Amino acid sequence: MTQSPTPDRKVHMSKEFERWWGSQELAAVPGLDPALVKRLCWEAWRVGREQLYEATAALRLQPLRS
C-alpha cells in the first residue's frame, strides 16, 4: 500500500524552487489539486538536486592528505 503526500502538511521549499515555481505558467487541469502538483514538483526538484550533488561529489575540492 502506498501513501500519497498529504496536501495539508507544510513543506519547507527552497527560495530557488519558489522563484522557479513562480515563473511557471501551469495550465489548470481539471481534477488536479494545484497544491498537490506543487508538492510533486518539489519532490522531483529535491531528488534531482540530491542526485546532481552526488554525481558531482568527485569534482569538489578535497583536503590534502599528508
Per-10-residue mean pLDDT of the chain, 66 residues long, equals 49 81 71 84 90 86 75
Could you give the CA distance from residue 13 to residue 18 in angstroms, rounded to a whole number? 7
Residue with cell 495550465: 27
Residue 8 pLDDT: 47
In whole angstroms, how far apart are CA 59 and each of 4, 7, 54, 56, 63?
Answer: 36, 38, 10, 5, 12
In this prediction the pTM is 0.57
8 A C-beta contact, residue 16 and residue 45:
no
